Amino acid sequence: MKIFPAIDLRDGKVVRLFQGDYDKMTVYNQNPVETAKSFAAMGASCLHVVDLDGAKDGKLVNFDTIFSIVHQVGMFVEVGGGIRNMDRVRKYLDAGVSRVILGTAAITDPDFLQEAVQTYGDKIAVGVDAKDGFVAINGWKEVTDMESFSFCKKLRDMGVKTVIYTDISKDGGLSGTNLDAYEKLQQIEGLSITASGGISSLDEIKKLRGMVDAAILGKAIYSGILDLKEAIAAGEKGENTL
CATH architecture observed for domain 2-236: Alpha-Beta Barrel (3.20)
Question: CA nearest 49: which of 82, 19, 26?
Answer: 82
- Of 8, 51, 53, 167, which one is the catalytic site residue? 8
Catalytic residue among 51, 53, 129, 167: 129
CA distance 168 to 156: 22
Q: Cα-atom radius of gyration of the chain, to the nearest Å?
A: 16
Question: Does the annotation mark 8 as catalytic?
Answer: yes
Q: For the chain, which residues make up each domain, given as ranges?
A: 2-236
Q: What is the pLDDT along the chain (242 residues), one digit of tens a residue?
A: 999 999 999 999 999 877 667 778 889 999 999 999 999 999 999 999 999 988 877 778 899 999 999 999 999 999 999 899 999 999 999 999 999 999 989 999 999 999 999 999 999 999 999 988 999 887 667 888 999 999 999 999 999 999 999 988 765 555 678 899 999 999 999 999 999 988 999 999 999 998 999 999 998 999 999 999 999 999 987 555 45
Answer yes or no: 111 catalytic: no
The pTM of the full predicted model, rounded to 2 decimals, is: 0.93
